[in-house]
Structure 1
Amino acid sequence: MKFRLLSLLLFIGIQQLMAQENSTEKIFIANPYLQIGREPSAQSLELVWHVADADATWFVEERTKDSNAWTRIEAINFTRVAVTGVDPHRIYHIKFNKLDPGSTFYYRVIKNKVVVFEAEGKAPKSDKQNYRFVAIGDIGALTPDQKLLAVQAYKAKPDMVVVAGDIVYNTGLISEYRTKFWNIYNSDKETEQSAPIMRSVPFVAAPGNHDIATRDLDRLPQALAYFMFWDQPLNGPNGPEGSAWVPLLKGSDENKNAFKAAAGDAYPRMGNFSFNYGNAHWLYLDSNPYVNWSDKTLTDWIKNDLASAKGATWRFVVFHHPGFNSSRQHFEEQQMRVLSPAFEAGNVDVVITGHVHNYQRTYPLTFTPDPPAATTTPSRGRIVNGKWVLDNNFNGKTVTKPKGIIYIVTGAGGADLYNPEQQDDKNSWQTFTSTFISKVHSLTVVDVEGKTLNFRQIAADGKEVDAFKVTK
């Protein structure tokens, strides 16, 4: 009798779990995911989720790892997305603002008094704590290696994931996020092809050309989802459409108004922003060729932003298009080289980029562009000639204090690889290139330990293909 009772209880429990999992799939268009928010700090994170456009009573509860007492958060806001091509839906936001830096916390999402989602989160690290981040670009292509690298990112147990642009292919649509992104990086459990990363740690994304270069809302009214889905700082330069960094939107008033209502205050300012995490200052830039980075307003903003980071041990810059690239593919798109003097003056340590679908690392270098400063065209960047000085003594093993900035391309995140024939042909590399891995997809794992950075490049099969150390 006891055996039958236990069997019945077990059966009921399994059915309840299955029902909850199935109901979760029906309740959420995008499962809850963590973001750094508009005003990042070591005590705060934002929680975001997408659901159908229907009224419901939502709230979130959180608790610490050492407590069984749940604290309710009811200050929930939502944005309604109603653009042509997808059913209207809502994006909800709440803020955790009393986190203990570096701690594990638990949260649950409640709809109409029923718990519909539960997860564990990692609070951001303080400037006194070590941390790990994963960097990866050119990811949402729905390829086997994208999925394998999502699992590798999860296994690395990062505190933050840095996305160097081209979040989803091919045109940054709402529907492309649903088929190529959320299900890969925020699945309900780890599989061989997906992982539940975003519910536990924030992804922070720079925009790529496949994310925000499309501005014709009559042709693609679902485009520019970057401005709808990401909850990131809005402290970059502000300017109108038609300025040096904001191209004109095209389309009917109806489509433009629908997009702007969905994007809210994120458009257009979220293309460029900065924040502090751990002991580092992070600067994210829109490197698309429509931006004129020779514009004084922009360069002054970068200089002032980096100058304000006086307390930071490390300074990282993240954008999509690499200025220093040995691939034949995209070689001419060197427009971001014009910012090298500003980066050097601001004591930048490492620049992380994507766009080129392989992995490259430069020697530490300084660069002086030839006058006049480069201009850009709407479709492509341009070659920027100049003089570089290389620190060939740096090897990342025994010599670990670089003289100059290290530029990394980590664009082998899932999209088709570029120029595998160049990996073993060093004569095809530019002299500034130290390492060139183009035969395998990979991601970057970085451990930040005070005044030491340990970099590892991990392939989709988990093998290490590069490693080096930087110290101060």
Structure 2
Amino acid sequence: MEVRRRRRLIAIVVVGLMLGGVGTWRYLFQIDGPGYRPKSAGGGFLVAPYVQLGDEPRFGTTESLTILWQAEDRATEWSVEARDAPGGAWRAGGKATWRTDTRPGVGPRRYYRATVAELAPGAEFTYRVRRNGKALFESTARARKGPGQPHRFVAFGDGGANSWGQMGIAYRTALARPDFVMVAGDLVYSKGRLFEYLDKFFPIYNSDQFAPGAGAPLLRSTPMLVAPGNHDLLERNLDSYPDALAYFLVWSMPLNGPLSQVGASHTPALFGTKAQQQAFVDLAGPAYPRMANYAFDYGDAHWTILDTNLYADWNDPKLRDWLEADLAAAQDAPWRFVAFHQPPFHSSISHGDEQQTRILAEILEKYRVDIVFSGHIHNYQRSHPLRFVPERDASGRPIEKLGRVNGRWTLDTRFDGKSRTRPDGVIYLVTGAGGARLYDANQHGDDSSFQEFTARFVSNTHSLTVVDVDATKLTVRQVTADGEEVDRFVITR
């Protein structure tokens, strides 16, 4: 009996390592349970510095970026400096501020931030972080680009599994040299905890190494903007996992979403003792719950980011009115993109009954959204340009029953992204092959298993989306971790 148990144990370890790398091994043996604490980043940091857009949704005459890092809870003087050209004079950045986390099992630690301002749009600059007057960290970054400045972004989802696939995608992303990265949810597995970020996210996307088997020093130079997925916000019991909901602690993105009240409908409600809840709310500040939805401009594009987890009912007029107002105000932008985790239209067997985001389709069409980026399904899919009319109840609301939203779609099958480059409808991309275990590999190449709205389906490899944007043309490529291009299409005005 003991021999058989050992053989089963060895088999579990081997399969886990093959499917998901070290992260799966930890998951199987619960090494990342409530008491697990990963190692610090070193160099005086618990988390090394990384750049964020911050609460800057709109363009200014000059630009700024926010530098974030984590360090021990000590009486230490931290500062940030920047220079605009190699060899130029260093200038002081904004004052470093911090929040102290003393929660049992999580702290003590400090979450630091400082702003580098007065940047020319699209300009490269160098910043360094100093502790007690000594420079500990230095990196280059680039300010947000403004209208008329071509830019490139990379999009993917479902990466934070500490897998070889995730490391390869991080490496390939850095090779693409994007101006920013958009992640369509499920940032870390499997509970959205701070310690999962420390173990499965920052060491890969902000690695000191640049290699397919390690990751890349991406976050220190490239802003990453993110949409919340189910694995990011659905674990909310702060008694069981006091470091849950780390989404609201480790990111700094625009605070222009529709929901700002703690405990409001359509927000990730908190569970646990009042003391644990209040400690989290105090740490998160204005980010919770507002930062779950937000919008921003970059180059010639406007972005709208939505929280489409199950507690958010996008049939509610308050949410729909905010979305309509945001998109209506962006009609002068050459391009409009929307990102949310759960895709409305896909052909995978996995999550086939999760269609609730289809109730957004008519708003997206009304305001001429060009592409919707989603994750959740761990593969790549592209729809034909699509228009959708959902079935409605007597009050006129789209009917969503047990996740399914029936209706009628109209497809633009003439669009091929090559000779015909002006789509009639919204293109829906699933780019969820960012590193977690792939879904539905058996469907790859099986056209008979696809819905008629599916134009491209790649489920046998991890991949990322590379998009080049100027005022009159989008070039969209899907690239594997090995650099193979598996899809390409162009949209023109």
Instruction: Tell me the TM-score normalised to structure 2 length.
Output: 0.88
8 Å Cα contact 2:475/2:488 also seen in 1: yes
Matching of residue 39 in structure 1 with residue 56 in structure 2: yes
Cα distance in structure 1, aligned partners of 2:412 and 2:449: 20
- Residue 146 of structure 1 is aligned with which of 163, 166, 186? 166
Residue identity in the other structure for 1:342: I
Cα distance in structure 1, aligned partners of 2:287 and 2:445: 43
The equivalent residue for 1:61 is 81
8 Å Cα contact 1:132/1:160 also seen in 2: yes
- Residue 249 of structure 2 is aligned with which of 216, 222, 228? 228
Cα distance in structure 2, aligned partners of 1:289 and 1:47: 32
- Aligned-residue CA RMSD (Å): 1.6
Cα distance in structure 1, aligned partners of 2:341 and 2:102: 29
The equivalent residue for 1:207 is 228
Cα distance in structure 2, aligned partners of 1:285 and 1:248: 17
SS in 1 for 2:319: helix
The equivalent residue for 1:322 is 343
- Residue 484 of structure 2 is aligned with which of 460, 463, 466? 463
Counting only pairs closer than 5 Å after superposition, residues 327-366 of structure 1 correspond to structure 2 as 327-366=348-387
Residue identity in the other structure for 2:283: A
The equivalent residue for 1:92 is 112
8 Å Cα contact 1:165/1:320 also seen in 2: yes
Cα distance in structure 1, aligned partners of 2:190 and 2:104: 18
The equivalent residue for 2:150 is 130
The equivalent residue for 2:215 is 194
Residue identity in the other structure for 2:310: P
Deviation digits for residues 368-402 of structure 1, max 9, x if unmatched? 1110345779xxx6010011100000000110000
8 Å Cα contact 1:233/1:273 also seen in 2: yes
SS in 1 for 2:318: helix
- Residue 288 of structure 1 is aligned with which of 295, 309, 312? 309
Matching of residue 437 in structure 1 with residue 458 in structure 2: yes
Deviates more, 1:163-172 or 1:191-200: 191-200
Superposed structure 1 runs of 4+ greater than 4 Å apart: 374-377
The equivalent residue for 2:418 is 397
Residue identity in the other structure for 1:330: H
Residue identity in the other structure for 1:168: V
1:242: how far off?
4.9
The equivalent residue for 1:172 is 192
Deviation digits for residues 68-121 of structure 1, max 9, x if unmatched? 211012422111223332231111111122111111100111100100000011
Residue identity in the other structure for 1:158: P
Which structure 2 segments of 5+ residues have no match?
1-38
Cα distance in structure 1, aligned partners of 2:40 and 2:411: 57
Deviation digits for residues 407-448 of structure 1, max 9, x if unmatched? 000000011000011111111101110000000010000000
1:160: how far off?
0.4
Residue identity in the other structure for 1:93: R
Cα distance in structure 1, aligned partners of 2:473 and 2:368: 16
- Residue 135 of structure 2 is aligned with which of 107, 111, 115? 115
SS in 2 for 1:187: strand
Cα distance in structure 1, aligned partners of 2:451 and 2:331: 34
The equivalent residue for 2:29 is none
Residue identity in the other structure for 1:159: D
In 2 relative to 1, CA 134–366 (structure 1 residues): closer, same or farther, beyond 3 Å? Answer: same
8 Å Cα contact 2:43/2:136 also seen in 1: no
Cα distance in structure 2, aligned partners of 1:165 and 1:35: 17
The equivalent residue for 1:76 is 96
In 2 relative to 1, CA 395–259 (structure 1 residues): closer, same or farther, beyond 3 Å? Answer: same
Deviates more, 1:36-45 or 1:92-101: 36-45
8 Å Cα contact 1:375/1:382 also seen in 2: no
The equivalent residue for 2:175 is 155
Cα distance in structure 2, aligned partners of 1:101 and 1:189: 29
1:67: how far off?
5.0
Cα distance in structure 2, aligned partners of 1:181 and 1:466: 27
Cα distance in structure 2, aligned partners of 1:410 and 1:23: 31
The equivalent residue for 1:5 is none
Residue identity in the other structure for 1:58: W
8 Å Cα contact 2:233/2:268 also seen in 1: no
8 Å Cα contact 1:291/1:376 also seen in 2: no
Cα distance in structure 1, aligned partners of 2:45 and 2:479: 32
Instruction: Tell me the TM-score normalised to structure 1 length.
Output: 0.92
1:239: how far off?
4.7
Matching of residue 369 in structure 1 with residue 386 in structure 2: no
Which structure 1 segments of 5+ residues have no match?
1-21
Residue identity in the other structure for 1:25: G
In 2 relative to 1, CA 270–375 (structure 1 residues): closer, same or farther, beyond 3 Å? Answer: farther
8 Å Cα contact 1:109/1:117 also seen in 2: yes
Residue identity in the other structure for 1:164: A
Matching of residue 453 in structure 1 with residue 485 in structure 2: no
8 Å Cα contact 2:268/2:289 also seen in 1: no
- Residue 268 of structure 1 is aligned with which of 289, 303, 307? 289
Cα distance in structure 1, aligned partners of 2:113 and 2:400: 37
Cα distance in structure 1, aligned partners of 2:256 and 2:154: 24
In 2 relative to 1, CA 58–375 (structure 1 residues): closer, same or farther, beyond 3 Å? Answer: farther
8 Å Cα contact 2:94/2:116 also seen in 1: no
1:244: how far off?
3.4
Residue identity in the other structure for 2:189: Y
Deviates more, 1:60-69 or 1:257-266: 60-69
SS in 2 for 1:262: helix
